[in-house]
Chains A and B, each alone.
Chain A
Amino acid sequence: MQPGDEITPLSVTPDRYLTVRYAGASGDFNPIHVDEEFAQQVGLPGRILHGLYSMAQVARAVTAASPGGPETLRSLKVQFRGMGLPERELTVTGTVSDVADGVATVDLVCRQDGKAIIRNAEATVRIGD
């Protein structure tokens, strides 16, 4: 990883029932994620993805780019913007912004339909000396 390097983009299309499986796996059963009628009643287009699911895709993209695997991921911070929907492709892209003292900083964005649903994401990864 060198400053300016782009990491391999990660694309994933969560299927229709992904939010239900993620709710079970994570314990977050907020009805905006699992109940279509409830979501529409509160003004959403339908059930929305858990922000932390989308953040997990950002983490996967960074971890995949690091030869040392998950042990090398030191930090990740994100801002959630807008909402993600099932059955539409998510794409995570990232660029190495800095390398210092064996740690690379990677700036990332997660987009759906061209909109950044996670932006200003920043990861730090240990890359050795």
Chain B
Amino acid sequence: MAVNADVVGKAYPPAIYAVGREKVREYARAVGETDPLYLDVDAARAAGYADVVAPPMFAVVYAMPAVAQGMFDPEVGIDFARLVHAGQELVWGPLVVAGDEISTAVTVKDVSERRGSGFFVFESVSHNQRDEVVCTATWSNVVRGA
């Protein structure tokens, strides 16, 4: 398959995600978390947090609106019918809690073709409202050759 390697390095405008308490709890319940830090405001406050703590993997939720800009960019040209999520890497900074506003910027790290399949790699960097990096993520996707 032909890929457009010219988009490597392309950056998208940061997208803001406001972390809601009930969204954190909904996510925590969906993935089976039982730690009260994620579910119970009083427990989170007793542990020194301002509100319920987002499970670390919630990073993929607050980064997704930003990453979607790249995934759905016609210039990148991902064929969703043959898309496979191949790998994911997350590096965390301070924990995120409900009430935080997370700004995520995404760049295209790699677009290449190997053995007939297309490789599409994005990097997202997420900052909280205090400008601390809360998560850097690498999203690796493969579009299988026809």
* In the complex, chain A residues whose CB is within 8 Å of the CB of B57: 52, 55-56, 59
Choice from B26, B65, B86 contacting A79 with Cβ under 8 Å: B86
Q: Which bucket holds chain A's interface residue count? A: 20 to 34
Contact with B along A78-101 (1 / 0, CB 8 A): 111000000000000000000000
Chain A residue at smallest Cβ distance from B64 = A27
Known contacts: A59-B55, A73-B56. The answer to whether A26 contacts B32 by CB under 8 A is no
Number of B residues near A (Cβ < 8 Å) is 31
Contact with A along B11-29 (1 / 0, CB 8 A): 0000000000001001101
B61 near A25 (CB under 8 angstroms)? yes
- Does A112 sit within 8 A of B, measured CB to CB? no
How many angstroms between the C-alpha atoms of A26 and B90 in the bound complex?
16
How many angstroms between the C-alpha atoms of A30 and B56 in the bound complex?
22
* In the complex, chain B residues whose CB is within 8 Å of the CB of A73: 56, 92
